[in-house]
Amino acid sequence: MSASDTAAPVEGASSPPPDNPPGRGGLADLSEADRQRAAALRRMRLVATSLLVIAAIIFVATLHRDGWLGYVNATAEAAMVGAIADWFAVTALFRHPLGIPIPHTALVPRKKDVFAKSLEDFVVGHFLTGDAARERYLAVGASKRVGQWLSNPATSEKVVAEVARMGGRGLAAVRPQDVQEIVEGSLLPRLMSEPISPLAGQLLEQVARDRVHQRLVDILLAEAHLWLLDNPRTFMAIVAERAPTWAPSWVNNIVTDRVHTEALKWVRDVRENPDHRVRLAVDQLVADLGRDLQEDPATMAKAEAMKEVLLTHPQTGETVLALWEVLRSTLQRSLEDEDGQLRRRLVAESVHFGQRLIDDEELRTRVDERVADVIASVVATYGRELAPVISQVIARWDGKEAAQRIELHVGRDLQFIRINGTIVGGLAGFIIHALSQLAL
């Protein structure tokens, strides 16, 4: 027996240890990390085998010697027994020792599918659980790290650039016919089946409380004031058409001019006074309409009829599609413009959010809790579906490949069993020999 035996590529066909190092005569697609593992495995095999060879040499050299050499001989003999026994145990996991098909050896090649299923169940039961995933995520403190990352403007620019790139691709991938199918096949039929009046009523009530509609009133008043200033003759002509025919024209001119002046004054008063009677009347009108849309059957029926007319009109789908195309093209241009307002705003908001994550512990806690809940839910729901990847991958390996791949990762540590067996066997032999000498 020589140390070179440890590198023999023949599976289990040479003297102990006949191990076939992964990557030699076996796996051909080893990564650099796997090559390093294979080299470490060969070194540890050499160490374990060298101890066996040394014990054998000492045993032969001290055979039939008395005195203290007898103790050495007994120690070496027991060390050989321990080394060979543990070599057999380690080798039997992956192949038949010496190539002999001894029962209950080559366990990994023969039972790889059973081991894979057991490993799958172990991973599912102890790792792919909602509680384990949630606990692990919360222990990482991810939100603070993300905050430190995003608070750097350069990093936020990279994030926004990547989001913009992916968003642009996503928008470009949406086909008009897909949007049309969604609008006409899902959106419009769903809106037809859902009553619109309660929702519209609640919306108008909220609008009335917040006086949001006054912005629209301001726009209308501004346009009316501008029209009156730019079109006095048109206004007076409209008023003159309704003047009495029996009145002298000079009287009608004075009246229409005064009406124009008063109309300008009235519009200006309504614009400048937020509590003007007209504004308050509009507030009440919006509030009453919101209430009627929720409580008055006649108003509700009219709203539903208007909705049906609007949604069934052929132009509605085309209008929605046209609006989508305008929105998409606008978003695409904004996302592609590195110096545009949208990109700058996104970067600023990203930096601000990152700084808030750093400074606001309560915000970090809320973010972590919500993300942890999502992760736990995903793992609990889909963990069992992900785990079969383990058994499926191992099932594709043949027995020899499975043994080599597993040995590549755990074989180095298993060599310490052989080393410890040699040492412990030697100590046991020494003690037994000593006790036998004392008994004699």
Q: What is the C-alpha separation between 73 and 61, in angstroms, rounded?
A: 8
Note the pLDDT of residue 177: 87
What are the C-alpha distances in Å from 4 to residues 13, 48, 59, 253, 283? 14, 12, 21, 123, 97
Residue type, 25: G
- CA distances to 159, 180, 220 from 331, rounded to whole Å, are 17, 19, 29
Token pair for residue 259?
Answer: 């009406």
Q: Residue 13: what are its φ and ψ, rounded to 5°?
A: -110, 0
Both tokens of 120, joined, read 């799958």
Residue 45 near residue 34, CB atoms below 8 Å: no
**pLDDT given for residue 247 in this prediction:** 65
Report the distance separating Cα 151 and Cα 154, nearest Å.
9
Cβ density class 312-326: b for 16+ within 10 Å, e for less: eeeebbeebbeebee
DSSP state of 216: H
Q: Dihedrals φ, ψ of 35, to 5°?
A: -65, -40
Residue 225: name the closest of 264, 257, 262 by CA. 264
**How confident is the model at residue 207, as a pLDDT?**
87
Amino acid at position 116, single letter: A
**Whether the Cβ atoms of residue 363 and residue 352 lie closer than 8 Å to each other:** no
- Check residue 53 and give its pLDDT: 96
Report the pLDDT value the prediction gives residue 16, as an integer from 0 to 100: 45
- Give the count of alpha carbons within 13 A of 383, CB side only: 20
Residue ranges of the chain with per-residue pLDDT less than 70: 1-29, 245, 247, 252, 440
Residue 315: name the closest of 142, 190, 197, 183 by CA: 183
List of residues 6+ apart from 417 with CB closer than 8 A: 86, 89, 90
pLDDT at position 54: 96
- Those residues with Cβ within 8 angstroms of residue 213's Cβ, 6 or more apart along the chain or in another chain: 207, 282, 283, 286
Contact assessment for residue 98 and residue 17, using Cβ atoms and an 8 Å cutoff:
no
Cα-to-chain-centroid distance, residue 279: 51
> Scanning the structure block, which residue is given the tokens 């629209």?
216
pLDDT at 28: 55
DSSP label at residue 17:
P
